[in-house]
Amino acid sequence: MKYPTFVALLAFGLLIGCDEKPQLQLSQQNVSSNNAPYSVDDDIPATAYMEHDEVYNAESVIPPQCYTKTDGINNPCYACHQTDKSDKNKPNQMFDGNLQGNYEFSDLGTKNHWKNLFIDRTELVKNISNEQILEWVNQDNYSEFIAQQKVKEDWQGEITPIENLAYPEKAFDKLGFAKDGSGWVAFNYKPFPSTFWPTNGSTGDVMIRLPEAFRTHQGVYNQDVYLANLSLVETALKGLESVSTPTIDEQRIGTDLNNDGQLSKISHLNKQSHYVGDAKDTLAYQLYPEGTEFLHTVRYIGVDNNGQIYNAPRMKEVRYMKKHKFKSNAALASSYYREAKEKSFENLPQTLYLGDQGVNNTFGWIINGYIEDKQGKLRPQHKQELAFCNGCHKTIGSTYDQTFSFARKVTGEKGWGYINLKGMQDVPNKGEQQGEFLTYMERVGGGDEFRQNKEMLMRWFNDEGHVDKQKVASAKDLYELITPSAERAIALNKAYLTIVKEQSYLFGRDATLVEALNVLQHVDESQQPLKPEHRYVWDMQLDWSNL
């Protein structure tokens, strides 16, 4: 086996050790069940692996995108795997940019287990009419799920109700605050390239919630306090000295947030040493305060009567994260060291499974997820399905405190409110000049990681297969750039519904219409994925300064 080395972390880790408390561990080793009715060579359904508690893919933390055929020049890898040491204070010490140039999979990981990528679903969707799929995606499966969770007497996990979440225009006010008083706040952010582009299969949104003390002043809810603390989280995570805000009344907080020597109504605040209101926590660079929660819904693609695309009421998945434990930079370095040590000893990934609560990523976060059953009702994900989450929310070099979306929020006042691609521009990443999505398509050679989205190729690429830079740069907004036609949206919805009916999520959740051609079924580790001139240093934060 081959694994990356982390020399600096190894030395540091020897001094500080590991501070994670012992927890129930789900070892990702194949354990055969004596009563399994299948033989090794049978075409075993995904449900059978879960029913008999036999691990299908012990390397499920390697996402499907990592098996892309790059031909040495097409690089989707840089969006996740980064080594940028220019910031000496950053908590993310993964530094895995070397994976743009080396395949460092375990022996087991060299085989691509995501076999749903290699299924042509043309025949499978023939009997699903457009009317049927549109009726399906416009049903609310979230409200019923929450109602059922509330009455489960033995349920030990979180319950995350937001009234009318299926219909965002009813659920949130103009600033993104949930109208039901639950404390959830939606924010407007640029989707991560390119899995989360609607043209590649799903719509979605993200909400944040800070602990109650961050929302109250002397025990009473105070929206000025909450807005101030949300904005301070933004300054901390993005490393900002100041940020614009919706109007905040400093008198209701009792703190001079813009440092002008008086308490007044402000639309700009400066970075503070501590959060305000009843919260006493100090701001920590690029880290959220303990107790921060995120709710992320992955939805079908809505298509209205005019062919316009929107976030459909029906949810494919509901994903939840909570920062159950604050870890200092030193403690996080210990966690990175532990990961490196396990890999150096050629151990397969370990998932700390917590039952109803989900999984512990060992970096301070608990992660949980819910997905559709055969009838389309949301259900808790099986432990094998949850293990997939650690592929993105554990140890990759691009993340900020193991998360993506909030670091990509439209900075300041304009970023508070439900996600809206209409009017949002393709701003560049920090330190770059060209639009991020234009740059991504240029580097990847397509409109998705697998270079198989024919509609994107026809829209934004020329006959020679190169991105039409002028055409992309002249797109009105992100809605025009990354949403599908009504026809493609309907086809993608149908394709995903076949996966739901199969319950074959262990084999992949990507709603591909036909068999993927630019994907490896087996990895030859002797070949480098990308030539040196096609590897990049990149920061997923965005430059919103020209808005």
Report CA 221 to chain centroid distance, whole Å.
30
CA separation for the pair 21, 260 (Å, rounded): 45
CA distance 142 to 163: 10
Lowest mean pLDDT among 309-318, 367-376, 425-434, 523-532: 523-532
Label residues 134-162 b or e (16+ Cβ within 10 Å = b).
bebbeeebbbebbeebeeeeeeebeebbb
The residue ranking higher by pLDDT, 189 or 104, is: 189
- Within a 10 A sphere around the Cβ of 35, how many other Cβ atoms? 6
> How many CA atoms, within 13 angstroms, populate the side-chain half-sphere of residue 268?
6
Lowest mean pLDDT among 26-35, 77-86, 112-121, 156-165: 26-35
Question: Per mean pLDDT, which range of 30-39, 140-149, 393-402, 417-426 is the poorest?
Answer: 30-39
Write down the pLDDT at residue 40. Answer: 59
Give the pLDDT confidence score for residue 37 in this predicted structure.
Answer: 54
pLDDT at residue 346 is higher than 80: no
Among 18-32, 233-247, 470-484, whose mean pLDDT is lowest? 18-32
Q: In this model, does residue 343 exceed pLDDT 80?
A: no
The predicted pLDDT at position 21 comes to: 41
Structure confidence at residue 41 as a pLDDT band (50, 70, 90): low
pLDDT of 6 strictly over 90: no
For range 449-469, the mean pLDDT = 97
pLDDT higher than 70, residue 193? yes
Task: For residues 159-187, give the mean pLDDT.
Answer: 98
What mean pLDDT is predicted for residues 113-132?
96
* Exposure string for 520-538, b = 16+ CB within 10 A, e = fewer: beebeeeeebbeeebbbeb
| 145 phi and psi angles, rounded to 5 deg | -60, -45
Q: How much is the pLDDT for 344?
A: 67
Question: What six digits make up the tokens of 125?
Answer: 């969707």
Tokens in use for 417? 């409110």
Residue 511: what pLDDT?
Answer: 85
Read out DSSP for 420-433? --TT---PPBTT--
